[in-house]
Amino acid sequence: MTFELLEVRQLIKQHYEVDGNEAMTNKYSLLYFTAKDEFINKSRLGKMDEAKLNIELEQTRDKIQEMSFHQRIQSMALWSAVVIALLALTILAVLYVHYRKTKRTNRMLYDKNLVLLNANKQLMPDPAPAQQNAQEEPSQEDRDLLDKITAVMESCNEIYDEGFGLSRLAELVDSNTKYVSRAINNCRQSNFSALLNEYRIKEACRRLMDTATYGSLSIEGVARSVGYKSRSNFTTIFKGSVGISPSAFQRLAREGKVDAALTPAN
């Protein structure tokens, strides 16, 4: 129903009023007011629908903004997680490379000392020529005495006792401490303490490799079994001679990568 139709009905009503036709006037008057009421109601409904639409649009915009905000937060959290993961992977890679390098170095030192042990060589390097020249030329008496000393060191398990010392060694070779020290110094360019450590560390290596017999012993147990009172002192001397710590040596031996059938010196 349009506004023009209302105007037409109003004019017809007025025409019948002028003519004095009361029945037709009342009819068009009723039609006019009915059409006007419909027009007003439709206008109100239109405005209500428009208002409702505006409210829904506003709510939709709010939801879109909220979703956009949450999406940005999730995106930031995701990128943070990716950065942290990459950083963690980098740190793990560095640690792994360091571990492999250390393990490879320990393995090389271990194999090197196995060769020395199997060949029954000294773990300590030979003195430099200049040091040898600085020592007194060994006499035949010194050489003969050193042979006796060597025989004791290689055959007597007493050297692995904590109380074993120079005086006891002198007794075992039927000599005195002065001559024993001189023979070691002149023939080995060393001293009694270094000689004793050499044999004890060599035996410690054999026991660390002999996992079948000594596998149940701790590092401290092995240290005491070859004559050392403290683990710290044993570790210091062992690492200085072999190049790696006793625990690292034992770990390599327990991996079963070498022949573990080497037996201690009797």
CA dist 193 to 11, 46, 132, 190, Å?
138, 111, 18, 8
Query: Would you say 260 and 211 are in contact if contact means Cβ atoms under 8 Å apart?
Result: yes
Residue bearing the bigger pLDDT, 163 or 103: 163
Confidence of residue 264 (pLDDT cuts 50, 70, 90): very low
CA dist 11 to 18, 23, 32, 155, 224, Å?
11, 15, 10, 144, 129
pLDDT, tens digit, 9 for 90 and up, residues 22-66: 888 888 888 888 877 887 877 776 677 777 778 877 888 887 888
- Residue boundaries of the structural domains of the chain: 3-94, 122-254
Three-class secondary structure of residue 164 per DSSP:
coil
Q: How far apart are CA 192 and CA 155, in angstroms?
A: 17
- Hey, how many other C-beta atoms are within 10 angstroms of the C-beta on 144? 12
Structure tokens at 21: 């036709």
Indicate the helix (H) or strand (E) that contains 7.
Answer: helix 3-19
Q: Is the pLDDT of residue 124 over 60?
A: no
Three-class secondary structure of residue 135 per DSSP:
coil
Domain 122-254 belongs in CATH node 1.10.10.60:
yes
Residues with Cβ within 8 Å of 180's Cβ and at least 6 positions away in sequence, in order, are 145, 149, 166, 169, 170, 173, 192
Q: Is the pLDDT of residue 137 over 90?
A: no
Q: What angle do CA 257, 259, 262 make, to 5 degrees?
A: 140
Q: What are residue 82's phi and psi, to 5 degrees?
A: -65, -45
Confidence of residue 119 (pLDDT cuts 50, 70, 90): very low
